[in-house]
């Protein structure tokens, strides 16, 4: 996988889903991400990060609950929210932030 820092610095927006395999609500997120990818295509990159396998990153980002979604562009955090966000709510948020 590419260097995460390089991905986050990219002009292409990156939506990150911080999840855990033991988290029930986290299992609801992948279909939402697929729907977003279908709607927004290559204008957005989507990554999923398992916080148990990436504990240092989870600590750095202060992830205290999962799922947590974060939107980065040009190395800047544009938006962050914990909990499951339905695609119909998430798509307008992403579009507004990356416009």
Could you tell me the two tokens for 8?
């986050």
Domain boundaries, the chain: 12-84
Strand blocks (E) in the chain: 14-19, 45-50, 68-73, 76-82
Q: CA of 52: how far to CAs of 29, 49, 82, 83, in Å?
A: 17, 9, 17, 17
pLDDT tens string 8-34: 999 999 999 999 999 999 999 999 999
pTM of the model: 0.94
CA–CA gap between residue 70 and residue 65 (Å, rounded): 13
Task: Just list the catalytic residues.
Answer: 23, 26
What pLDDT shows up at residue 2? 60
Beta carbons of 76 and 65 less than 8 angstroms apart:
no
Helices 29-40 and 87-98: crossing angle in degrees, nearest 10, is: 50
pLDDT tens string 28-86: 999 999 999 999 999 999 999 999 999 999 999 999 999 999 999 999 999 999 999 99
CATH 3.30.450.40 assigned to 12-84:
no
């Amino acid at each position: 996988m590419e260097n995460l820092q390089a991905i986050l610095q990219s002009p292409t927006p990156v939506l990150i889903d911080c999840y855990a395999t033991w988290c029930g609500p986290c299992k609801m997120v992948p279909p939402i991400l697929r729907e977003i990818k279908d709607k927004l295509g290559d204008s957005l990159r989507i990554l999923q990060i398992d916080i148990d396998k990436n504990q240092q990153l989870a600590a750095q980002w202060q992830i205290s609950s999962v799922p947590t979604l974060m939107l980065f562009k040009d190395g800047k955090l544009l938006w962050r929210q914990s909990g499951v966000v339905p695609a119909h709510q998430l798509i307008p948020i992403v579009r507004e932030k990356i416009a």
